[in-house]
Amino acid sequence: MINKISKNKIFNLLVSFLIIFCTLIFIWQIVIIFTGVPKYILPAPLEVFLEMKSKYQILFYHFKITLLEIILGIILGTLLGIIGALTIFLFKPARIWLLPLLVASQAIPVFAIAPLLVLWLGYGISSKVAMAILIIFFPITANFLDGLKNTRKDWIQLANIMSNKTQLSKYLILRHIHIPAALPSFGSGLRVAAAVAPIGAIVGEWVGSGSGLGYLMLQSNAKFQINLMFASLIVIIFTSLIIYFSIDQIIKILIRW
């Protein structure tokens, strides 16, 4: 039953996505026909798709690297976010020391940190993953912490009455009540993380990199390969959408309350 509902939802999502996509392509083509924009400013959709077809090997190579950066960023950023939220929730002194640090980390623009990360971690994948982690860490920590702190009081009271009131009880109440109760908030944070993780990876690639879709965009721009630049951009958009909607569906299936 649930699988059937999920399948229907995925089908509806794909249909609506296809309609939006075709409409945008149509508008794009209309703009070119009616404004006469030169090809080196805005190439026609068909030319971009032909470029994607002919350069698919190059695009796929760079796509794999960017995808890896984003996925690693999401996994590691989420893990660090969970650890951060649990540390702040469980240890009161951590609230005093970690919370200002967490807020300060968001006050600094990502673009300002990117050159430093490239300098410290090199031109490889690590600096891009670190960028993605930096962006993801805050929404995960803040949302999960919010969920942990706002667990319904009556559930906690009931659990306290039922427990043995030992040292272990605190851990068992955390595991069986606080954490599951906080999962919907955690899911919201993860959705935000999925949407912003590609920004971290692409910005990192722009600042200093030898591969990835962001790097390919810059290179094709410098070489005046506008079709390839647009092709890279479309792959980035599709990658971001697929990552976001996959995570969104996983959250909907796993966290149903």
Partner 1 sequence: MEKVYKKNNEYISPLGISIDKIDFKYDDNILFRDFSVKFPPKNNTSILGNNGIGKSTLIKLISGIKEPNLGSIVDYNNNSIHNSITYMDQFDQLLPWLKIKNNITLGFKLRQENYSSEKFSYLTNILGLNEFLNSFPNQVSGGTKQRTALARTFIEDRPLVIMDEPFSSLDTNTKNKLIKLTKHLVKDKTLILVTHDIMEAIELSDQILILKGSPAKIFKIFSSEEILYYKKKDKMIIDLYNKILSILDL
CB neighbours of residue 203 within 10 Å: 20
Rule CB under 8 A: say whether 105 interacts with partner 1. Answer: no
Residue 256 interacts with partner 1 (CB under 8 A): yes or no: yes
**Closer Cβ to partner 1, 119 or 162, answer by number:** 162
The tokens describing 160, both together, are 């306290």
Whether 217 contacts 223, CB under 8 Å: no
Residue 57's CB is within 10 A of a number of other CB atoms, namely 7
Closest distance of CB 165 from partner 1, Å:
6
Alpha carbon of residue 178 to chain centroid: 25
Residue among 174 and 241 whose Cβ is closer to partner 1:
174
Residues 26-85 that bind partner 1 (CB under 8 A): none
Q: Does 159 contact partner 1 by CB under 8 A? A: yes
Q: What is the largest CA-CA distance in the chain?
A: 76
Nearest-approach distance from CB 146 to partner 1, in angstroms: 18
Are the beta carbons of 82 and 144 closer than 8 angstroms? yes
Tokens of 65: 């690297």
Q: Which DSSP category does 175 fall into?
A: I
Site for partner 1 contains 8 (CB under 8 A): no
Kindly state whether residue 4 participates in binding partner 1, applying the rule CB under 8 A: no
Tokens 């999502």: give the residue.
13
Minimum CB separation from partner 1 for residue 169, in Å? Answer: 7
Residue 158 binding partner 1, by CB under 8 A: yes
- Which range touches partner 1 (CB under 8 A), out of 6-14, 154-162, 214-222, 239-247? 154-162
In the complex, least distance from residue 171 CB atom to partner 1, rounded to whole angstroms:
10
157 binds partner 1 (CB under 8 A): yes
Q: Does residue 177 bind partner 1 (CB under 8 A)?
A: yes
Pick the stretch among 134-142, 173-181, 199-207, 220-228 that binds partner 1 (CB under 8 A): 173-181
Q: Are 187 and 37 in contact (CB under 8 A)?
A: no
Position 163 contacts partner 1 (CB under 8 A): yes
Q: Which of these, 197, 244, 243, 235, lies nearest to 59 by C-alpha position?
A: 235
Q: Classify the C-alpha dihedral 54-55-61-62 as positive or negative.
A: negative
Contact set with partner 1 (CB under 8 A):
154-155, 157-165, 168-169, 172-173, 176-177, 180-181, 183, 255-257
